[in-house]
Amino acid sequence: MAANMYRVGDYVYFENSSSNPLLIRRIEELNKTANGNVEAKVVCFYRRRDISSTLIALADKHARELEEEMENPEMADLPEKQKHQLRHRELFLSRQLESLPATHIRGKCCVTLLNETEALKSYLDREDAFFYSLVYDPQQKTLLADKGEIRVGNKYQADITDLLKEDEEDGRDLEKLEEKIWDPNSSLTEKQIDQFLVVARSVGTFARALDCSSSVRQPSLHMSAAAASRDITLFHAMDTLHATGYDMTRAIAALVPQGGPVLCRDEMEEWSASEANLFEEALEKYGKDFTDIQQDFLPWKSLTSIIEYYYMWKTTDRYVQQKRLKAAEAESKLKQVYIPNYNKPNPNQLSNNVKPALVNGAAGAGVPGPPGSVPTPGLGRACESCYTSSSYQWYSWGPPNMQCRLCASCWTYWKKYGGLKMPTRLDGERPGPNRNNMSPHGLPLRHSGSPKFAVKTRQAFYLQTTGLTRMARRLCHDIIRPRYLARHPYLPVNTAAIKAECALRLPDRPAKPLPLKPVERKPLESVVRYLEAHPRPIKPDPPIRGGSISTGSLTPIKSTPILNNGSPTILGKRTYEQHNGLDGTKSKALTPQWDIMAKRVSDAARPSASLQDEVHELD
């Protein structure tokens, strides 16, 4: 019962897609709509897979700096698998609010601010535990450090100086130390101090009557007297009394100098009504995040002025009224909501009665399930994450044409943490927002949020296969079908199934390896000697046609150039004259049509050796 009860402030999973990972949100409000449904107003958290590669690079840089500050070698000692899974536990807080149906809640989770005193491995040991340290702005596409960090650690501790010995001089700069501004053991009594404060308030009220701007803001005597009774006037009166050596006569004279009575104003008087409304609007949006309030609403005010106004504003009737309104609204809103467990089957769940089409590398053995469960028919595909071949339930994952699948455990991990359990070679490749999520051979690109794009580079590379891979090619020759794949290079190869099949066949392999077909290769020197002894025949010059034939009465061939903007084919390697039916040795005159027809007839009667020479000429 308690597990299905969701309250304001809980971190929960939301499902907006049957195939995508669950969303992580924090419930801010629970509202009942007009049709009786419950709607949750939530704060959004983003995963690494939800932000751009540029921001992921900034997040990685921040993580390295944080690791150096913590001086904790824990991350370096973690195995690659745990580092891979730890990236799935990192979230990014945002200020974005959205409303979602409460029926889409799929469970609770725990999200905490990253604390340098807590071990990162502890998040892997706990189920549904996440952490965040950066704030993501979906509109501005920025990533900033959270200002609400917990300042715990050695660098936040005060350095206590040693106690001075007798007759030892203090080497510190005394001017930079605190200054005494009040002496409670003065010669004045409490009654005399209270009388002096009343005189200071009266002088402040009179000063506001003389000031034009103050008389407009406080048109009545009561408002002026209330403004003169604020703390700023009392602080100035006590400072004056201390500065004059607690001499009442000199202190009263200092309140009314030669230029007129002293007027002391605080932030409540300095701010206009429009500025006060902007502050209340900003406080409603950002809370007590005074830096954001200054940047977005009151950039002409200093941070000190905004903070001082906030604490003075909390003493006004305006604050009390707003607090009462919010309390009344909170009473009318829901405090908690009960959401039953979601037991409907997932559309990605593979049916136990339908056997999907198999791609190259699939086997046909049945897959046993747990005791008491219906066995899954032999789909022949291993799990894309953990490479297991047995599970009580399978789920389709990735592009439909790839027919990839995950076991029940890896599917739950994918939905909660947005990644695969095991790191792969393609984890460092992340396609951009507008790139296809498929490799050149049609394989899905699995990634963990690294900023590197999955594109083919133009640099040369050397692919060195392992001994186990070469052995798998021979043991699973009937599954791989290399001759068929050589003629169909874009067909996907199920490497996971081949790997699983190789592991099964490897113990039963013959003790003596199969003999390889010997291939005799001639040395390079013999090839060079052969080419020198058999040079390429010299191309004969084309026959010169007689000039007695008149070309004026014949219709010339069109001289429109053939443009080749596609791939460099044989036509693309020919010259401009050859594209237009002209001989390179002649002038750029138009060739008669009958001459070309005669050339075609003569070409058809050529022997095969001359045709080979023409192919060389075109190359």
Which of 39-53, 132-146, 149-163, 387-401 has the lowest average pLDDT? 149-163
Q: The CATH number of the domain where 230 resides is what?
A: 4.10.1240.50
Burial class from Cβ neighbours inside 10 Å (0-12, 13-18, 19+) for residue 235 reads middle
Percentage of the chain beyond pLDDT 70 is 70
Taking each continuous run of H as one helix and of E as one strand, the counts in the chain are 23, 11
Same domain, 232 and 274: no
Same domain, 205 and 313: no
pLDDT tens, position by position, 565-611: 443 333 334 444 444 444 444 444 444 444 544 455 455 445 444 44
Would the pTM count as exceeding 0.75?
no
Residue among 116, 137, 124 at smallest CA distance from 87: 124
The residues that bridge with 311 in the sheet, in sequence order, are none
The per-residue pLDDT for 387 is: 86
Task: Give the span between the Cα atoms of 289 and 438, in whole angstroms.
Answer: 43
Evaluate if residue 483 carries a pLDDT over 50. yes
Domain boundary among 110, 145, 180: 145
Same domain, 69 and 103: yes
Higher pLDDT, 510 or 373: 510
Evaluate if residue 91 carries a pLDDT over 90. yes
Domain that holds residue 226: 190-265
The per-residue pLDDT for 382 is: 84
SS3 for 368-411, per residue? CCCCCCCCECCCCCCCCCCCCCCCCCEEEECCHHHCEEEEHHHH
Mean pLDDT of 340-351: 86
For residue 325, tell me if it sits in a domain: yes
Q: Is 258 helix (H, G, I), strand (E, B) or coil?
A: coil
Mean pLDDT of 436-465: 49
18: its two tokens: 């049957």
Mean of all residue pLDDT scores within the chain = 75
For residue 240, tell me if it sits in a domain: yes
Same domain, 50 and 118: yes
**Continuous segment of H or E residues that includes residue 103:** none
Same domain, 130 and 59: yes
pLDDT level of residue 379 (50, 70, 90 thresholds): very low
Task: Give the span between the Cα atoms of 82 and 423, in whole angstroms.
Answer: 9
Same domain, 40 and 111: yes
DSSP code at position 242: H
Query: One-letter amino acid identity for 354?
Result: V
Evaluate if residue 8 carries a pLDDT over 70. yes
494 neighbors 361 (Cβ within 8 angstroms): yes
Q: The CATH number of the domain where 414 resides is what?
A: 3.30.50
Q: Domain tally for the chain?
A: 5
For residue 356, tell me if it sits in a domain: no
For residue 45, tell me if it sits in a domain: yes
219: its two tokens: 């048109």
pLDDT tens, position by position, 163-222: 888 888 887 777 777 788 888 888 889 999 999 999 988 888 888 777 766 655 666 776
For residue 534, tell me if it sits in a domain: no
457 neighbors 97 (Cβ within 8 angstroms): no
Evaluate if residue 550 carries a pLDDT over 80. no
The per-residue pLDDT for 481 is: 85
pLDDT tens, position by position, 228-251: 777 888 888 899 999 999 998 999
For residue 155, tell me if it sits in a domain: no
Among 321-330, 421-430, 507-516, name the most confident range: 321-330
Task: Give the span between the Cα atoms of 321 and 310, in whole angstroms.
Answer: 15
